[in-house]
Amino acid sequence: MIKAHKITQPAAVSLSKTPTGIKGLDEITGGGLPQGRPTLVCGGTGCGKTLLAMEFLVRGATQFDEPGVFMSFEEKFGELSKNFKSLGFDLNELVNQNRIAIDYVHIEPSEIEEAGEYDLEGLIIRLGYAIDAIGAKRVALDTIEVLFSGLTNENILRSELRRLFRFLKDKGVTAIITGEQGERTFTRFGLEEYVADCVIFLNHTVDHQVATRRLRIVKYRGSAHGTNEYPFLIDQQGFSIMPLSSLGLDHPASTERISTGIARLDAMLDGKGYYRGSSILVTGTAGTGKSSLAAHFVDAACRRGERCLYFAFEESQKQIIRNMRSIGIDLGQWIDQGLLQFQNSRTTIYGLEMHLVVMHRMIEDFKPDIVVVDPISNLVAAASKAEVKSMLSRMIDYLKIKQITAFCTDLTATGGTLDQNSTDISSLMDTWLLLQVLETSGERNRGLYLLKSRGMPHSNQVREFILSDSGAQLRDVYIGSGLVLTGSSRVAQEAHDKALALECQQEIERKQREIERKKTLIEAQIIALRTQFELEKEDLDRLISREQLRVETFAFDNLAMSNLRQADEQIEGLTDQGVPL
C-alpha cells in the first residue's frame, strides 16, 4: 500500500531590504533597496544620480551605522567634498572616522592602449580592499559606464561587468550603480541587462521654461513598489521625494471646531466655526477680500497659540503684513513669536510637482496647525487645470491625514457663475465661501455667500462683507420687493424705512392719544348721566314715599272720622279693624 505524503508549502520569505534614509524613497520602495544586491540608478545629466548614490551612503553611515564605499570614475575626492558640503554632508569627517571610503578611479582614453586579453581584476581587488578596510555594507559606483569610453572591447568589458556585479553580491553589500540615459534605453550601454534586481529612473524635464525632476521605479524584483512618477526635490537638506499619490481616503475626521476669526461668520457656521482638519475654499474676483478672510483666520489661530504656515503666490511677506494692518490685523507679531511663517514665491519659479514637494518639506519641518494657500489659481500658470486639481487633491489628503486645517483662496473670473472656480476643486472642499461684488446705484460692494459646509447646519443668507480699519464685518443685506441692496443704497433704504417706521409710530401714538381723550370724555359723560340718573331716581323715591304717606294718612283720617260717627258698618276699603285693604 502506497502512503500519501502531504506536501508542505514553504513559508513565504519576504525580501530583505536596506533602508536608504532618504525621505519618501523608503515609502515608495516598501522599505528600501534590495539588501545584498545591486540597484541601477539611471537618468540624464543633472537629474541627481550622484547625489542619490552619495546620500544613500551618508544616511547609511550616520543613521544606520553601515559604512560605505563610494567609487567615483568622474570626480575626485576634493570635488565631491566641496559639492556635498553645500548639502550639509561633511565627507571629510566621515572619511576620517572610517565610516565612508571614497576612491577615485582615473580613466583617460588617451592614456590607455589595449593589447591582447585583459580584465577588471585590478578594479575588483581595489574595490574589495576598500570594502574590507572599513567593513562596508554599502557601495556606490558612479558612473561605471566611463569604462566603455576608455575601453573599446565591449565583449570583454561586459563579461567583466558581470563578474564585478557577481562579486558585489558575493560580498553581501547593497550597491548603487549609476548610469547615463541612452536614446532608447535606460542606459547608454545596457547596464540594465546586468543589474536586473532593481532599476530606478530619474527624469529631469523642462516644460514651458519650468524644470521638474521625477523619479520612477522601473522594476523591483521580488517586491511590490510604487509605479507612478514621483516628484523629488534637491535642496540644502539633500534628496527628498513626495509620494503623495499613494495616499488614500482613510484620514480621521475631527469634531473639534475652530473660530473663523469673525464672530458673525462663526454664527453662520452653527455658531462654532470650521471643523479642525477640514479644507476651506474661498473664491471670488480680485479685491473681494479673500486674503483678508485668510488673515482673520490666521490671526485667530495664532491667538489660540497655534502655528500657521502661509504660502503666498502674489504678494511678499512685508506687503501682506502692511496691507493687513489697514484692517486692524498685526501679523508681524505672530512672526516674531514663531507662530506664523510665510513662504512667498511666484508659481513660475519651478514646476507644479516641485511646489508640492516644497510644501510637504515645509509642513514637515514647521509642523503647523493651519496651512493657507493664497491663491491656488496661480498654480494654473505652472501646469494644466487637470494637473493642478490632481496636485491639490493630493495635498488636501495629506493635510487631512495630518489633521491640518487647509485654507485656500481661489481667484475667479469676473462675470462667472456662483459655482465657478479656476481649478474645479470645490467638490474636494468641506466648506466653500464665495465673495462676490454686488453692483447697485453706481456702487460696488461685497457680498458673502456660504455655498456649503459639510457636517454642520449653516446659514443660507447673503451677508454684506465690509472691510474697515477695525477688521472685517458682516451685515445683513436689505432684501425687499425682489431687491438686494448693499452699501449706500442699503443705508438710504434703511433710513427711508426708519423714517416710515417713525412716521407710522407717530401716527399710532396720535391715534392712541385721541382714543384716550375720547375715552376720558365718554367716561365723564357716563359719570354725568349716572349722576343725573341718581338725582332723578331720588326724586322718584321721594314721590313714592309722599304718596304712600298720603294714602296712609287718608286711611287713618277716615277711620278716625268713622269712630267719631260711631259707624256700625264697615267702611268700604277698610277691614273689620279699620285698616285699609
- pLDDT at residue 3, as a whole number: 47
- State how far the Cα of 88 lies from the Cα of 237, in Å rounded to an integer: 7
User: Tens digits of per-residue pLDDT, 361-404?
Assistant: 889 889 999 999 988 888 877 677 777 887 888 888 889 989 99
Going by C-beta distance under 8 Å and a sequence separation of 6 or more, which residues neighbour residue 443?
Answer: 486, 487, 488, 489
Cell of 31: 522599505
Of the residues 220, 246, 272, the one at which a domain ends: 246
The residue that leads in pLDDT, 489 or 84, is 84
User: Tens digits of per-residue pLDDT, 427-441?
Assistant: 889 999 999 887 776
What is residue 246's three-state secondary structure? Answer: helix
Residue indicated by cell numbers 264697615:
570
Instruction: Name the residue among 314, 316, 318 with its Cα closest to residue 346.
Output: 314
Cell of 90: 561633511
The mean pLDDT value for 226-249 works out to 72
Antiparallel, parallel or unpaired: β 483-485 and 478-480: antiparallel
- pLDDT at residue 10, as a whole number: 45
Could you say which DSSP state residue 248 is in? -
- pLDDT at residue 407, as a whole number: 95
Angle at 366 between CA 363 and CA 370, to 5 degrees: 65
53 part of a folded domain: yes
pLDDT at 574 over 60: no
Distance between alpha carbon 58 and the CA centroid of its chain, in Å? 35
- Verify that 312 and 205 share a domain, yes or no: no
- pLDDT at residue 576, as a whole number: 54
- Verify that 143 and 88 share a domain, yes or no: yes
What is residue 119's three-state secondary structure? Answer: coil
Of the residues 189, 213, 246, the one at which a domain ends: 246
76 part of a folded domain: yes
283 part of a folded domain: yes
553 part of a folded domain: no
The mean pLDDT value for 344-358 works out to 79
- State how far the Cα of 524 lies from the Cα of 564, in Å rounded to an integer: 60
- State how far the Cα of 15 lies from the Cα of 38, in Å rounded to an integer: 14
10 part of a folded domain: no
Antiparallel, parallel or unpaired: β 230-235 and 238-241: antiparallel
Domain containing 327 equals: 257-476
- State how far the Cα of 180 lies from the Cα of 192, in Å rounded to an integer: 11
- Residue 279 near residue 426, CB atoms below 8 Å: no
> Phi/psi zone of residue 208: left (φ > 0), alpha (ψ -120 to 50 degrees), beta?
left
- pLDDT at residue 7, as a whole number: 44
- pLDDT at residue 12, as a whole number: 47
Report the share of the chain in percent with pLDDT over 90.
Answer: 29
Report the share of the chain in percent with pLDDT over 70.
Answer: 81
- Verify that 229 and 314 share a domain, yes or no: no
The mean pLDDT value for 14-36 works out to 87
- The predicted model scores a pTM of 0.66
Q: Is the dihedral of CA 217, 218, 221, 224 positive or negative?
A: positive
pLDDT at 420 over 80: no
- Verify that 117 and 79 share a domain, yes or no: yes
- State how far the Cα of 149 lies from the Cα of 109, in Å rounded to an integer: 7
- Verify that 226 and 309 share a domain, yes or no: no
- Verify that 414 and 325 share a domain, yes or no: yes
Confidence band (pLDDT; 50, 70, 90) for 246? very low
* Beta bridge partners of residue 216, listed in sequence order: 201
- Verify that 447 and 361 share a domain, yes or no: yes
- State how far the Cα of 273 lies from the Cα of 265, in Å rounded to an integer: 7
* Beta bridge partners of residue 176, listed in sequence order: 39, 140
- pLDDT at residue 6, as a whole number: 45
User: Tens digits of per-residue pLDDT, 32-85?
Assistant: 999 998 898 888 888 888 899 999 999 999 999 999 999 998 888 888 888 888
| CATH code of the domain containing 343 | 3.40.50.300
- Verify that 266 and 234 share a domain, yes or no: no
- Verify that 234 and 312 share a domain, yes or no: no
Could you say which DSSP state residue 91 is in? H
Buried b (16+ CB within 10 A) or exposed e, 464-487: bbbbeeebbbbeebbeeeeeebbb
Distances (CA, A) of 320 to 247, 295, 327, 374, 407: 33, 9, 11, 11, 16
- Verify that 163 and 261 share a domain, yes or no: no
| Total count of domains within the chain | 2
- Residue 434 near residue 449, CB atoms below 8 Å: yes
- pLDDT at residue 417, as a whole number: 55
Of the residues 476, 508, 529, the one at which a domain ends: 476
508 part of a folded domain: no
Q: What torsion do the CA atoms of 327, 330, 335, 337 make, to the nearest 10 degrees?
A: -150
pLDDT at 306 over 90: yes
pLDDT at 426 over 90: no
- pLDDT at residue 101, as a whole number: 92
498 part of a folded domain: no
Could you say which DSSP state residue 45 is in? T
- pLDDT at residue 236, as a whole number: 75
Going by C-beta distance under 8 Å and a sequence separation of 6 or more, which residues neighbour residue 555?
Answer: 573, 574, 579, 580
- Verify that 188 and 98 share a domain, yes or no: yes
- pLDDT at residue 194, as a whole number: 62
pLDDT at 488 over 60: yes
- Verify that 417 and 337 share a domain, yes or no: yes
- pLDDT at residue 265, as a whole number: 92
Q: Is the dihedral of CA 127, 129, 130, 135 positive or negative?
A: positive
User: Tens digits of per-residue pLDDT, 522-538?
Assistant: 988 999 888 888 888 88
User: Tens digits of per-residue pLDDT, 173-223?
Assistant: 999 988 887 766 666 666 656 666 788 999 887 776 667 788 888 888 888
User: Cβ of 219: how many Cβ atoms within 10 Å?
Assistant: 17
Instruction: Name the residue among 117, 192, 193 with its Cα closest to residue 153.
Output: 117
- pLDDT at residue 329, as a whole number: 93
Q: Cite the active site residues.
A: 74, 314
- Residue 390 near residue 423, CB atoms below 8 Å: no
Look over the chain and give the mean of its residue pLDDT values, rounded to a whole number. Answer: 82
503 part of a folded domain: no
pLDDT at 415 over 80: no
